[in-house]
Structure 1
Amino acid sequence: MCLKAVLSKAYAFFVNRQLNNIRQNALALQQKTFTDLIHAAKDTAFGKDHWFSAIDNYEDFKKQVPIRDYEDLRPYIERVTHGEADVLWPGKPAYLAKTSGTTSGVKYIPISKESMPQHIKAARNALLSYIHETGKAGFVDGKMIFLQGSPVLSEKEGIAVGRLSGIVAHHVPQYLQKNRMPSYETNCIEDWEQKVDAIVKETLNEDMRLISGIPPWCQMYFDRLSVASGGKKVKDIFPNFKLFVHGGVNYEPYRARMEEVIGDKIDSIETYPASEGFIAFQDLQREKGLLLMVDAGIFYEFIPSDEYFNDNPTRINLKDVELERNYALILNTSAGLWGYSLGDTIKFVSKNPYKIVVTGRIKHYISAFGEHVIGEEVEQALMSVAAAEGVDVIEFTVAPQVTPKAGELPYHEWFIEFGNEPKDISAFALKVDAALQKKNIYYFDLIEGNILQPLIVNKLKKDTFINYMRSQGKLGGQNKVPRLSNDRKIADELVSYIKE
């Protein structure tokens, strides 16, 4: 074992002691974060508009600061992007993270000099937690790859602008720079397919030990590695590849396909980064859930998902959350986001320590008939049947069909790209439907009451979702296919990809 691996074990022990403080003192740390944030921002434009100087507790805060999504906060953010200082947070942001919103077009998320280090610390601690728990540190002696956006930054009124992953690339610790791939030149390639091909060429003969990225785009990298190597499995190309770090989407629908192309089961670490903040990471292999970062400059709030669209929904902080209940996640951050609805839904699987799983998007659901089916339910229904049937699902999305052919009942229409297909697609669809009925009582009632007919599955051509995302200009990076839509915008685009 090389010196770097030995030192990483010692450092991991030290960091784990810090994490134990987080695990044991979450509520006190959240209260301190709340107090510090309010005090720091009281003289900003937002702080003055919302009487931060008069806020003494969380109840005061809720009275003064409403829940907002990006569109609601846009007037303040536009002042920031026009170069005004002291708007949402003291001074100007260090960066603006550029993201693509499904309803808001291009969004600019401020990242401050206080919030940026938290992204790096959380990513580092995820790896060190793995080393501390497992004793496996050999990956630090080999090559590591982070499939990410271009690190080339533009400028807007003196503020650096780029994708989050590209911004983070400028802050990779020096001790990892020698091991890091791809090269800077390759990382700067904007076209995703050209970039993946260049990464394959650059890494094919390297000692890759850690690979990180959003699962669908890592899958593309693995598939092209296999082609370039004459059909080899990834484990045979990279014999020392032992750790996969992923985030951005639920990994379970991809796991079987990824393990098939890798040729083995390997350890993985799930992370929950967002442009708005690094929220949680998997700190233990043996336990479910991601450790919530309660001391990272984010004060969290939660709204029960089934109340989110109410006029006056319940709004709570960490001390009042319940296990196994879906919540919309609300952030208040050291970059100046206040009462900010991230759009994600989570649920707590532990309160000692506080651990979460991501269950979907608050606006990604189907409730055309009052069923309010959510992402977690469709993913679990599909993957449970796929696993039992030995079926390989590459990607999928679901939409309601409210105007079926004459004489037919409405239904949920599923568009699935399979690796290996079910022998009987109709029987497969009925099993998925039965599984979904068990997950959602409202859906069960609609089927039983003959309001809906059982779901229909469409088999899609190979590379459908890659081609669809390419057609939308969203191939690669942090872009993801919505699994659920309450309209047919995506579904109608996919009709032309259905296999005969």
Structure 2
Amino acid sequence: MLSIKSALAIPFAKRIRKSVLKWANNPIETQEKVFQNLISEGAATVFGKDHDFVSINSYGDFVKRVPVRDYEDLRPYVERSVNGEEHILWKGKPLYFAKTSGTTSGSKYIPITKESMPTHVEAARNAILMYIAETGNSKFVDGKMIFLQGSPILEQKNGIQFGRLSGIVAHYVPKYLQKNRMPSWETNCIDDWETKVDAIVKETLPENMTVISGIPSWVQMYFEKIQQKTGKNVGDVFKNFNLFIFGGVNYEPYRAKFENLIGRKVDSIELYPASEGFFAFQDKQNERGMLLQLNSGIFYEFIKADEYFDNNPRRLTLKDVQLGVNYVMIVSTTAGLWAYNLGDTVEFTSFKPYRVIVSGRIKHFISAFGEHVIGKEVEQALQEATFDTNIRVTEFTVAPQINPKEGLPYHEWFIEFENEPENMAALANELDQSLQKQNSYYFDLIKGNVLQTLKITPVIPLGFQTYMKSIGKLGGQNKIPRLSNDRKIADALSELKLVK
């Protein structure tokens, strides 16, 4: 029998689904309204005056006046905001700066404003409500929910608060969920990740956990500690756990390992949140891709990834994109980001409505020999090679080996296995065949004897956690790049390889 709270969740979810479908079914018109509002609101800012917003009457005008920027290009404006100046990128001062550890720019400070903050909260809420509306499953709202996240402790400077995005969002948990939310505030404030996970395990073990959420690699660490402590599968410890919410990385490489740790399949919802905005969430259990958030104060542009490094790549709006093409996503937002390159690449999986998958990072690829292998390709190769086998992978990353001791150069895959394959060479061959099939440049390099087939270097148990700890990035929102164009990560992991 449903409780009052879970019973009320169903009509509320259906009402929200109706409002979501209203803008999702009118995508171009919705984006045009967002664009016009952004230009109107941005005209009085320092950035708007520098770029003559008052004379922007069309998207074409915007393209002429506002070049695509990454964080380094925007940094002078951001620093003025950080120093407390008003009306720089958006009206007034930001409410927050989300501090991120950029992979290419060191620490970044991403503004979050009075207008942009609610969109982060609403999108996360709507993802759950769309799931309830689709499945009719609302019982989980009566149980305990956990999100493995950064510390909610914020610093204050010049009237603005600074912290990790997940820590900022922790302050916006709706009242009706606060009794259900875990871990405790005190535990959430623990900085050391391993100490924090141990405390979370202790707190959650006696509870009726129904929803667990976080980046898969760090949830996996939590699950493993539960299994070690109890000797049971997570699904037996938490009998009513039936919804896993995740974001940050592709879940597929982890799926087999998770199902083994849980002991059964559970429903999952994929999210695409970032400090710069909440861009998409999975709106259907059996549809590939996530619903692009078109009504969240974010105007989207796209550049074909293979044209991005050209002198003057063409910028496209939503109406010009194609299915299955790898695009760099560019955003302008109510947080004051303008034609901002997130660094993410996406592919569209449907147009009715517009859904995307995150295919990788424009700066995370291997092209040491002109092959331009991307994250989606290595993840798909691993998925295909281990499908219908008992091979379970804990973590992996790939780097080029340009100067091997003997033979031709190759791609080196560092893989931490839960259970190793009986035939490592056969797995390497399967991976290589899949990559050749997906990437014609890689195929040509193998067939032309420029590269030899890839090699696998097994990593010791907990090797990736050891590496992340060594660079001070264990836990939180940190994740290991799938691909590197150099040997920095590879050389560190070579010290952690499994020797037999």
- Quickly name the TM-score band, shorter chain normalised: over 0.9
| Correspondence list, 1:393-408, <5 A | 393-406=393-406, 408=407
Match of 2:226 in 1: 225
CA–CA distance in structure 1, aligned partners of residues 206 and 221 of structure 2:
18
Match of 1:141 in 2: 142
Segments of structure 1 that go 5 or more residues without pairing to the other structure are: none
CA–CA distance in structure 2, aligned partners of residues 388 and 262 of structure 1:
18
Query: Which has the larger displacement, 341-350 or 419-428?
Result: 419-428
CA–CA distance in structure 1, aligned partners of residues 358 and 326 of structure 2:
9
Q: Deviations over 1:412-468 (max 9, x none)?
A: 111000011111111211111111100101100100010000001001100011110
Match of 1:494 in 2: 493
The secondary structure found in structure 2 opposite 1:29 is helix
Q: Deviations over 1:345-383 (max 9, x none)?
A: 001010111000110111110011111010100110112
Match of 1:384 in 2: 384
CA–CA distance in structure 2, aligned partners of residues 169 and 428 of structure 1:
42
Q: Deviations over 1:91-123 (max 9, x none)?
A: 000000000011111110000000000000000
Query: In the TM superposition, what is the alpha-carbon distance from 1:388 to its structure 2 partner?
Result: 3.7
Match of 1:35 in 2: 36
Match of 1:115 in 2: 116
Counting aligned pairs with the same residue, the percent is 61
Match of 2:159 in 1: 158
TM-score, structure 2 normalization = 0.99
| Correspondence list, 1:346-361, <5 A | 346-361=346-361
CA–CA distance in structure 1, aligned partners of residues 78 and 157 of structure 2:
13
Instruction: Kindly provide the amino acid, as one letter, of the partner of residue 87 in structure 2.
Output: D
| Correspondence list, 1:4-23, <5 A | 4-23=5-24
Match of 1:170 in 2: 171
Query: In the TM superposition, what is the alpha-carbon distance from 1:482 to its structure 2 partner?
Result: 0.2
Instruction: Kindly provide the amino acid, as one letter, of the partner of residue 117 in structure 1.
Output: P
CA–CA distance in structure 1, aligned partners of residues 63 and 153 of structure 2:
39
The secondary structure found in structure 1 opposite 2:474 is coil
| Correspondence list, 1:53-202, <5 A | 53-202=54-203
CA–CA distance in structure 1, aligned partners of residues 145 and 259 of structure 2:
19
Match of 1:476 in 2: 475
The secondary structure found in structure 2 opposite 1:419 is strand
CA–CA distance in structure 1, aligned partners of residues 183 and 408 of structure 2:
52
Match of 2:206 in 1: 205
Query: In the TM superposition, what is the alpha-carbon distance from 1:156 to its structure 2 partner?
Result: 2.1
The secondary structure found in structure 1 opposite 2:295 is coil
Which contiguous aligned blocks of 4+ residues in structure 1 show a shift greater than 4 angstroms? none
Q: Deviations over 1:236-291 (max 9, x none)?
A: 10000010000000000011101100000000000000000000000111211100
Match of 1:308 in 2: 308
CA–CA distance in structure 1, aligned partners of residues 277 and 448 of structure 2:
44
CA–CA distance in structure 1, aligned partners of residues 289 and 234 of structure 2:
27
Query: In the TM superposition, what is the alpha-carbon distance from 1:325 to its structure 2 partner?
Result: 0.5
Match of 2:243 in 1: 243
CA–CA distance in structure 2, aligned partners of residues 387 and 92 of structure 1:
50
CA–CA distance in structure 2, aligned partners of residues 355 and 434 of structure 1:
29
Aligned length: 498
Instruction: Kindly provide the amino acid, as one letter, of the partner of residue 485 in structure 1.
Output: S
Instruction: Kindly provide the amino acid, as one letter, of the partner of residue 400 in structure 2.
Output: P
Q: Deviations over 1:324-362 (max 9, x none)?
A: 101001010000000100000001010111000110111
Segments of structure 2 that go 5 or more residues without pairing to the other structure are: none
Match of 1:264 in 2: 264
CA–CA distance in structure 1, aligned partners of residues 394 and 28 of structure 2:
40
Match of 1:274 in 2: 274
| Correspondence list, 1:427-438, <5 A | 427-438=426-437
Match of 1:373 in 2: 373
TM-score, structure 1 normalization = 0.99
CA–CA distance in structure 2, aligned partners of residues 175 and 29 of structure 1:
31
The secondary structure found in structure 1 opposite 2:384 is helix
CA–CA distance in structure 2, aligned partners of residues 442 and 426 of structure 1:
23
Query: Which has the larger displacement, 170-179 or 388-397?
Result: 388-397
Query: Which has the larger displacement, 423-432 or 177-186?
Result: 423-432
Query: In the TM superposition, what is the alpha-carbon distance from 1:475 to its structure 2 partner?
Result: 0.5
CA–CA distance in structure 2, aligned partners of residues 228 and 422 of structure 1:
27
The secondary structure found in structure 1 opposite 2:261 is helix
Match of 1:448 in 2: 447
Give the aligned CA root-mean-square deviation in angstroms.
0.7
CA–CA distance in structure 2, aligned partners of residues 405 and 425 of structure 1:
20
Q: Deviations over 1:194-236 (max 9, x none)?
A: 000000000001000000100000000001011121x100111
Match of 1:425 in 2: 424
CA–CA distance in structure 1, aligned partners of residues 318 and 178 of structure 2:
37
The secondary structure found in structure 2 opposite 1:389 is coil
CA–CA distance in structure 2, aligned partners of residues 315 and 293 of structure 1:
19
CA–CA distance in structure 2, aligned partners of residues 137 and 115 of structure 1:
28
CA–CA distance in structure 1, aligned partners of residues 110 and 211 of structure 2:
29
CA–CA distance in structure 1, aligned partners of residues 412 and 306 of structure 2:
23
CA–CA distance in structure 1, aligned partners of residues 261 and 433 of structure 2:
30
CA–CA distance in structure 2, aligned partners of residues 434 and 17 of structure 1:
45
CA–CA distance in structure 1, aligned partners of residues 491 and 287 of structure 2:
40
